[in-house]
A and B are shown apart, each in its own frame.
Chain A
């Protein structure tokens, strides 16, 4: 007995004495694990967070990371309850991912109140770094403005200046339409009309006919998930793209294209922050990811979770602790650098600046293999991709 104890003790001492400091960090991955966004976030985000911890070599550096996860069912009340409980009871230090704007805004609120860290990847609301900005929030991957910016600028430069919107009639759809119309007008285009459909919708034929009748060069879909997929399917049945009008999706993920199939989705223009087949770094990482995720390639949301967790751990290491203010100040004060988004920076309001890309979906003939879906049309440099800092945010003086 005594010998075992001595051995254990010396082993424990040895284990502790190697790194310069030791701390426990608990990361909560909060997202949709059963609903419409489960494919683009869900378990994949947990895998991405775990990969970030492993790649960083957290254990060797004395940072003992535990990852917990939960399903917020895309509801703000459930999200805020879980976040509150995680912070109060379970000792969670940082929450990552959180798709669905309403849920993300709720988590940002609780995080601010409890003074913890929230690194959002899955949600798109510009309010997270605008009027609802918080010193505890970092918004990593994309937002409605950057999506609209990429798609609208590129299409208008091609000479497609008249736009028609098919918008999901809820706060997120309206915000997406509002942000994109502003960009369209600023770039010299015109909005010839729009129609709002109830959320969620199933039959889009009457909206598509109105869009077709409007004669607009671009039909922009300001909706998400299943609504977008249904609109695209029905648009294909009406032969909208064949008759010369362009279909632009303002929020779409590679998993949506995977679900639609290239035959239906071909030719679609969309903006994303990340695509697995961009360079050697993204390919190597994505292959490792796919090996752990039943062969499914990562979305930009997964990539954002990875990069966010990595940068947070760097901050913990650099500040030798997990004081939220110190870590976030460090993150904002130092450039971000990871294999997926390359070099970037974090603005005072919490917005992460990195390049965005305009992609076009390949036709079945162009695609060389599984998950070979996009060709890059344009790169929108980091300094132009995102909305300028707004006075609505209290952190911007």
Chain B
């Protein structure tokens, strides 16, 4: 173990297309880049015209949750780690960013960055402790920490208890772009979410991502090959926590509100549901999952508690009939990784 096992063993391979090099690890991933680029462009075009047809605040909600679900998917779908406490990162970032924008009067981009940094720091602490355990114990440890964060959010003086932090100003982006218009804010959120998604796409198709998948598929083998598995796990945990934080911090600015809902354990459950429904371990699955769940909550809001029942029903059907999730099934039909 004295040598440097983190070093990429395949360092001599073609640098232009690093994702394709580890064909032994993940044979399905043969050249996924081209049609992914096409899908990303199509998605971007669709989302650019969408706010003129659909209520922009609803779309922003979808985008925030899409990023949140994609962050969890990075950990769950590619790292094989089921965190049941991601609301801690989402929520704490939203509190920090709301507080920074409202009380300290920071511009929205600084508030969002500060929230993300807080989530990253929290991810480092929680991650370092949680990755010492596997499987259900890992999930329980993350849940326990998330509950602690919830308790802090409920009791700390700056969070406002169950009132949350309200009337957060949307402010001016970079000090001069007024975000009070829904449309301007929408394109800001779209840019943030897209940057996040592209980053995740880059991470999972990088050598680091390949190692991650190797660890997910067979941890013992990855160790025997010489990887320091815990470092990789911690790194992906922190990345996932930061991106979840980015989503939460953005949401606080969009809705001008940070509330207990964001840190509650049901939020952790909801994002797992979005990921599984959309398709775990697929690039576009979390987006689809988030869109379906958020749309359901939004358009069926008048049914009240029945939304939860309906969600449960859909989840059951999804587990019984299509376990790969919406995008997973599509990928199987198209015989292409999505």
Contacts and interface: CB of A to CB of B under 8 A. Distances in A.
B51 to A, nearest CB: 12
Nearest to A76: B259
A73 B255 contact: no
B301 A71 contact: yes
B206 interface: no
Interface residues of B, number: 26
Interface in B258-312: 259-262, 298, 301-302, 304-305
Contacts of A109: 166-167, 256
B160 interface: yes
Given A71-B304, A76-B257, A81-B57, A171 B161 contact: yes
Interface of B is mostly: helix
Contacts of B160: 171
Contact of A89 (B55, B155, B305): B55
B15 to A, nearest CB: 46
Nearest to A82: B301
B178 interface: no
Interface in A58-97: 69-71, 73, 75-78, 80-82, 84-85, 88-89
Contact of B257 (A33, A106, A171, A172): A106
Given A71-B304, A80-B255, A81-B255, A101 B163 contact: yes
A85 B57 contact: yes
A71 B261 contact: no
B316 to A, nearest CB: 21
A171 B164 CA distance: 10
Contacts of A69: 302
Interface of A is mostly: helix
A88 B164 CA distance: 23
A170 B161 CA distance: 6
Given A33-B304, A76-B259, A88 B55 contact: yes
A352 to B, nearest CB: 22
Interface in B131-187: 154-155, 160-164, 166-167, 182
Contacts of B257: 76-77, 80, 106
A105 interface: yes
Contacts of A210: none
A231 interface: no
A34 interface: yes
A102 interface: yes
A102 B164 contact: yes
A85 B58 contact: yes
A101 B160 CA distance: 12
Interface of A: 33-35, 69-71, 73, 75-78, 80-82, 84-85, 88-89, 101-102, 105-106, 109, 132, 169-172, 174
Interface of B: 55, 57-58, 61, 154-155, 160-164, 166-167, 182, 255-257, 259-262, 298, 301-302, 304-305
9 contacts: A76-B257, A77-B255, A77-B259, A80-B257, A85-B58, A105-B166, A109-B166, A132-B167, A171-B160
Q: Which 8 A-B pairs have the closest CB atoms?
A: A171-B161, A71-B304, A34-B305, A34-B304, A102-B163, A77-B259, A109-B167, A33-B304
